[in-house]
């Protein structure tokens, strides 16, 4: 996991998971739902959990270097990652932030 930017309210991180599917997380939201694409769940014992790099409510900015806002596109990109999955995520720092209606 590598930090990409230095903003006091958010952190942008480069997360790489190895070993192939299942990756051990699910997503929610997306442009078709008028909400940011976010990590909805992390499966205990899965690759995402073992890496310790992802958290629920992290916002997904890109998947395998493809900027991604749509849920359906995100699912296709994740499922199409045979061995390595790279995510650029944005994480709010400080008090929990919940987006209305998402």
- Environment class of residue 5 by beta-carbon count within 10 Å: exposed (0-12), middle (13-18) or buried (19+)? exposed
Q: What is the DSSP string of 16-74?
A: EEES-S--SEEEEEEGGGTEEEEEEEE-TTSHHHHHT---TTPEEEEETTEE---HHHH
Q: What is the pLDDT of residues 60-97, one digit of tens each?
A: 999 999 999 999 999 999 999 999 999 999 999 876 65
> According to the model, what pLDDT value does residue 102 have?
72
The whole model's pTM is what?
Answer: 0.86
Residue 76: helix, strand or coil by DSSP? helix
Cβ atoms of 25 and 18 closer than 8 Å:
no
Give bridge partners of residue 63 from the DSSP assignment. Answer: 66, 87
Q: Go through the domains of the chain in sequence order and give each one's CATH number.
A: 2-92 (2.30.42.10)
């Amino acid at each position: 996991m590598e930090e990409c930017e230095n903003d006091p309210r958010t952190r942008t991180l480069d997360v790489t998971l190895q070993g192939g599917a299942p990756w051990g997380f699910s997503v929610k939201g997306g442009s078709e739902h008028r909400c940011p694409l976010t990590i909805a769940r992390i499966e205990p014992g899965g690759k995402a959990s073992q890496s310790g790099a992802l958290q629920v409510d992290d916002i997904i900015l890109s998947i395998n270097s493809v900027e991604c806002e749509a849920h359906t596109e995100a699912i296709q990109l994740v499922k199409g990652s045979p061995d390595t999955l790279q995510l650029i995520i944005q994480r709010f720092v400080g008090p929990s932030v919940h987006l209305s209606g998402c």
